[in-house]
């Protein structure tokens, strides 16, 4: 505790860091206030059905990532996720299409062009999602929900559709702009922080709801609640290990003399991440697992049996077993297309570097590839285990609103963003020769070992 207060005093002494933190908090406050501003024409007192619909499943995840704005029918209802979807699409295109590969190699000008294309794609995605969201919203509102644009929002005029579609597009773009402002003038990655704030906004309510339900409805009392907290702490520590874990490969650089200065002659290390794929395997696997649920949702069958029932039960054994296998496979796939051992070997050879005991060139690439294959296996199993933890604890009687914090995309994002932000704060403190948050002065975030774009 003394270390924490000392660190806070050191942060307050650095004017630039203090201003950046306050600026970030102000932007976050604006974002949270906007999540409660309801779309025009919608009675906020008539949203009980929508909130019940978003209590679990895919819509529950979307609502969690938007910080409850989805279930509030807010102007920020679609949140930042369309931008994330557009970024993923552009990233995948950069692996397959030469035009985007060329933009990635053009430095700052290429990055600006990619950002511009990503924004245009974001608008297109929101324009497609917004009418669907409005149609679902109308279906969930009771007939007595009165709209100022029409006698009843359940039979709205064209102006209601057009205006709210534009507002939802503007809301997502404004959230994206807020994230960029945090990145430029605040602390941490703005987009990631906004997602994290959306997720963590539900934590206090879920925590207290679980606590009181254990005392009153579910039984077990305080002992069971404490066991749940211990399991949560264990999973968080496991996730931190997964995010920070690296295998260091020694690289020896030959001595080179340029002018009057000597370069090389020292041993350095290449940190290969245990989980180089990050959260992407979970996103890909989840998209595939939601496909059967989506298809079944359009059928008229009231009772599902066999395989259909198994793959629409998000907490069942077979659903999570297949989910686990897909995450392991996608971890290898995404690591293979993002980590290039041949390029790493060529870069070392060009800079006069070599791995002791390994011939430069092809042998070095094979050596790095073997190491990545070995460390990716436990990393993929850890990642898959963290991903299915919400279903495991759900079987133990934990409410779904609280179980979401035990793993999956939400926990990985929370841990990764917190570590990245603390790393930036630590860097400011070290530059001013102040004690930071740890004795070693080093906090490894997601990008500290290897930048995965």
- For 391-446, what is each residue's pLDDT tens digit? 888 887 787 778 888 877 778 888 888 888 888 888 888 777 665 555 555 556 55
Contacts of 430 (CB under 8 A, 6+ apart): 436, 441
Task: For the chain, give the number of residues.
Answer: 453
Which SS3 state, helix, strand or coil, does residue 220 take? coil
CA 100, CA 444: separation in Å to the nearest integer?
30
Which SS3 state, helix, strand or coil, does residue 74 take? strand
Are 210 and 117 within one domain?
no
Q: What is the pLDDT of residue 444?
A: 61
Structural domain for 64, as ranges: 1-201
Are 182 and 329 within one domain?
no
Q: What is the pLDDT of residue 452?
A: 35
More confident site: 307 or 24: 24
Tokens at 363, concatenated:
């042998």
**Which of the listed residues 201, 231, 263 is the one where a domain comes to its end?**
201
Burial class (CB in 10 A: 0-12, 13-18, 19+), 260: exposed
> Which is it for the CA torsion 352, 358, 363, 368, positive or negative?
negative
Rounded to 10 deg, the angle between the 408-431 and 362-395 helix axes is 120
Residue 430 in domain:
no
Residue 354: its H or E element = strand 353-354
pLDDT tens digits, one per residue of 34-67: 989 888 888 777 777 777 767 666 667 777 777 7
Q: What is the pLDDT of residue 25?
A: 93
Tokens at 144, concatenated:
């007595």
Rounded to 10 deg, the angle between the 190-200 and 158-185 helix axes is 120
User: Which among 261-270, 378-387, 441-450 has the top mean pLDDT?
Assistant: 378-387
Q: Look at the pTM and tell me if it is higher than 0.85.
A: no
Residue 213 in domain:
yes
CA 393, CA 404: separation in Å to the nearest integer?
9
Residue 247 in domain:
yes
**Which of the listed residues 154, 185, 201 is the one where a domain comes to its end?**
201
Are 51 and 8 within one domain?
yes
**Which of the listed residues 171, 201, 231 is the one where a domain comes to its end?**
201
- pLDDT at 259 exceeding the cut of 70: no
Contacts of 273 (CB under 8 A, 6+ apart): 245, 246, 379, 449, 450
| Residue 78 near residue 133 (C-beta atoms within 8 A) | yes
Rounded to 10 deg, the angle between the 317-338 and 280-296 helix axes is 140
Residue 288 in domain:
yes
Q: Tally Cβ neighbours within 10 Å of residue 166.
A: 12
Are 252 and 389 within one domain?
yes
Q: What is the pLDDT of residue 203?
A: 82
Q: In 3D, which of 406, 402, 415 has the Cα closest to residue 388?
A: 406
Q: What is the pLDDT of residue 300?
A: 40
- pLDDT at 99 exceeding the cut of 80: yes
Structural domain tally of the chain? 2
Are 173 and 283 within one domain?
no
Are 364 and 375 within one domain?
yes
Residue 353: its H or E element = strand 353-354
Are 154 and 298 within one domain?
no
Region at 340 (left for phi over 0; alpha for psi -120 to 50; beta for the rest) = beta
CA 72, CA 48: separation in Å to the nearest integer?
9
CA 407, CA 390: separation in Å to the nearest integer?
6
Q: In 3D, which of 60, 102, 62, 96 has the Cα closest to residue 79?
A: 62
CA 254, CA 287: separation in Å to the nearest integer?
48
pLDDT tens digits, one per residue of 209-218: 888 887 776 6
Are 177 and 289 within one domain?
no
User: Which among 148-152, 234-238, 423-427 has the top mean pLDDT?
Assistant: 234-238
Residue 428 in domain:
no
| Segments of 205-295 assigned E as strands | 246-253, 256-258, 261-263, 267-273
Are 257 and 172 within one domain?
no
Q: In 3D, which of 381, 374, 367 has the Cα closest to residue 328?
A: 381
Are 298 and 189 within one domain?
no
Residue 427 in domain:
no
CA 68, CA 198: separation in Å to the nearest integer?
7
Q: What is the pLDDT of residue 276?
A: 82
Are 136 and 221 within one domain?
no
The CATH number of residue 244's host domain is: 1.10.3370.10
Residue 271: its H or E element = strand 267-273
CA distances from 149 to 70, 130, 132, 170, 310 (A): 22, 18, 19, 20, 44
Residue 217 in domain:
yes
Looking at every residue in the chain, the average pLDDT score rounds to 78
Can you name the residues that pair with 249 across neighbouring β-strands?
A: 270
Q: Average the pLDDT over 192-206 and give the result.
A: 84
Which SS3 state, helix, strand or coil, does residue 250 take? strand
Are 183 and 290 within one domain?
no
Q: Average the pLDDT over 246-271 and give the result.
A: 65
pLDDT tens digits, one per residue of 155-166: 567 888 888 899
| Residue 68 near residue 59 (C-beta atoms within 8 A) | no
Residue 429 in domain:
no
| Residue 236 near residue 415 (C-beta atoms within 8 A) | yes
| Residue 192 near residue 28 (C-beta atoms within 8 A) | no
């Amino acid at each position: 505790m003394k270390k924490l207060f000392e660190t806070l005093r050191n942060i307050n002494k650095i004017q630039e860091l203090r201003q950046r933190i306050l600026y970030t908090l102000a932007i976050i406050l604006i974002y949270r206030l906007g999540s409660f501003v309801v779309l025009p024409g919608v009675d906020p007192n008539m949203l009980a059905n929508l909130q019940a619909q978003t209590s679990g499943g895919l819509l529950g995840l979307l609502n969690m990532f938007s910080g409850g704005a989805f279930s509030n029918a807010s102007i920020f209802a679609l949140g930042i996720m369309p931008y994330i979807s557009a970024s993923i699409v552009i990233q995948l295109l950069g692996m397959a299409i030469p035009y985007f590969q060329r933009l990635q190699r053009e430095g700052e000008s290429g990055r600006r062009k990619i950002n511009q294309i990503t924004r245009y794609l974001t608008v297109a995605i929101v324009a497609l999602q917004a009418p669907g969201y409005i149609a679902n919203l109308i279906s969930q509102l009771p007939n007595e929900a009165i709209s100022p644009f029409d006698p009843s929002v359940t039979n709205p005029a064209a102006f209601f559709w057009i205006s709210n579609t534009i507002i939802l597009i503007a809301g997502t773009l404004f959230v994206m702009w807020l994230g960029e402002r945090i990145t430029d003038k605040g602390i941490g990655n703005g987009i990631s922080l906004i997602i994290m704030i959306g997720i963590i906004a539900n934590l206090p309510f879920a925590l207290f709801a679980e606590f009181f339900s254990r005392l009153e409805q579910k039984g077990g009392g305080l002992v069971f609640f404490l066991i749940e907290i211990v399991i949560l702490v264990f999973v968080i520590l496991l996730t931190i290990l997964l995010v920070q874990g690296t295998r260091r490969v020694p690289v020896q650089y030959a001595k080179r003399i340029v002018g009057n200065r000597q370069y090389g002659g020292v041993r350095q290390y290449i940190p290969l991440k245990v989980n180089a794929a990050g959260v992407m395997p979970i996103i890909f696997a989840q998209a595939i697992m939601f496909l059967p649920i989506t298809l079944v949702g359009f059928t008229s069958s009231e009772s599902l049996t066999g395989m259909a029932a198994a793959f629409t039960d998000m907490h069942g054994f077979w659903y999570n077993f297949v989910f686990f296998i897909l995450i392991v496979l996608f971890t290898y796939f995404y690591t293979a297309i993002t980590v290039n051992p041949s390029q790493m070997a060529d870069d070392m050879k060009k800079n006069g570097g070599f791995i002791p005991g390994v011939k430069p060139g092809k042998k070095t690439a094979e050596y790095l590839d073997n190491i990545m294959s070995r460390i990716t296996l436990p990393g993929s199993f850890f990642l898959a285990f963290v991903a299915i933890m919400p279903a495991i604890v759900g079987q133990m009687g934990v409410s779904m609103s609280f179980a979401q914090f035990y793993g999956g995309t939400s926990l990985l994002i929370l841990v990764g963003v917190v570590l990245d932000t603390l790393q930036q704060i630590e860097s400011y403190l070290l530059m001013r020769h102040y004690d930071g948050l740890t004795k070693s002065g080093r906090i490894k975030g997601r990008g500290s070992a290897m930048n995965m774009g």
